């Protein structure tokens, strides 16, 4: 197939524009990759500090997976477990999914929760972010003993004026997190213990190596 001159010019123009655009995007991607990762880590760090009980470790560095869920453990200076946090997704928000970071104490009571991402209506559904009393109401609750529904459905949690779907979705997702902990508790605790043992072991090895030197 042979192009005439005009067709060659058209093809050339598009190819040059596309290659230049791709080049610029590639460079931008390289330049922003690190800062984006840092910003995301920073955001998660802030959220974790708010939902986890006081801890001495870097919860992100110590995170491990249980059943494809990334668990962030809180430990004191001696490695004793102080709590856990992980993110749950409420798929049934008013507009799209709501991501919630749930922080638990080892006994299975909620320490605090925090919404990390949502598209709910400002002024209505976004009470799940702004209404601190409502968020406070979750603290200390365990799976049994609370009615995990909004008041409109006969439960223990307030809905907001003009917004029922959003809090309903959050309450359901948090209940799911507690149920997950109840069923996976032993697995999670074992994983932390293993992690601590691994750390001790590597410290031990280091000492041995030093002796050999």
Partner 1 sequence: MTKSEVFYDGFWHNNTIFAQLLGMCPLLGVTTSAENGFWMGVATMLVLLGSNLVVSLVRDVIPKNVRIPAYITIIAAFVTVVGMAMNAWMHEMYLVLGLFIPLIVVNCAILGRAEAFASKNSVSDSVVDALAVSAGFTFALILLGGVRELLGQGELFGFSLFGESYPDVLMFILPPGAFIALGFILAGVNLINRKLKQRADAAAQAVAAVEAGS
Considering the complex, state which of residue 6 and residue 209 has its C-beta at the smaller distance from partner 1. 6
Tell which positions 170-199 bind partner 1, by CB under 8 A. Answer: none
Binding map of partner 1 across residues 128-167, x = CB under 8 A, - = no contact: ----------------------------------x-----
Q: How far apart are CA 74 and CA 196, in angstroms?
A: 12
Please state the closest distance from residue 162 (CB atom) to partner 1, in A.
Answer: 6
Residue of the chain from 1, 4, 25, 180 that contacts partner 1 (CB under 8 A): 25
- Radius of gyration (Cα) for the chain, nearest Å? 24
Longest alpha-carbon distance in the chain: 80
Residues 4-23 that bind partner 1 (CB under 8 A): 6, 9-10, 13-14, 17-18, 20-21
Residues forming contacts to partner 1 in the complex (CB under 8 A) are 6, 9-10, 13-14, 17-18, 20-21, 24-25, 28-29, 31-32, 35-36, 39-40, 42-43, 117, 119, 121-124, 162
């Amino acid at each position: 197939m042979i192009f005439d001159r005009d067709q060659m010019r058209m093809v050339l123009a598009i190819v040059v524009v596309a290659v230049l655009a791709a080049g610029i995007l590639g460079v931008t991607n390289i330049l922003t990759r690190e800062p984006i990762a840092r910003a995301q880590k920073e955001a998660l760090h802030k959220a974790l500090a708010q939902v986890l009980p006081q801890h001495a470790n870097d919860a992100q560095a110590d995170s491990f997976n249980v059943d494809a869920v990334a668990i962030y453990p809180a430990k004191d200076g001696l490695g004793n477990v102080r709590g856990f946090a992980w993110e749950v997704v409420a798929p049934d928000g008013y507009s799209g999914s709501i991501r919630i970071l749930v922080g638990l104490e080892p006994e299975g009571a909620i320490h605090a929760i925090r919404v990390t991402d949502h598209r709910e209506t400002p002024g209505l559904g976004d009470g799940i972010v702004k209404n601190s009393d409502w968020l406070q109401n979750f603290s200390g609750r365990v799976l049994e003993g609370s009615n995990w529904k909004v008041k409109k459905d006969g439960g223990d949690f307030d809905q907001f004026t003009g917004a029922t779907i959003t809090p309903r979705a959050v309450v359901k997702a948090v209940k799911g997190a507690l149920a997950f902990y109840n069923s996976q508790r032993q697995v999670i605790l074992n994983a932390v213990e293993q992690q601590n043992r691994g750390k001790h072991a590597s410290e031990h090895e280091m000492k041995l190596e030093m002796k050999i030197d």
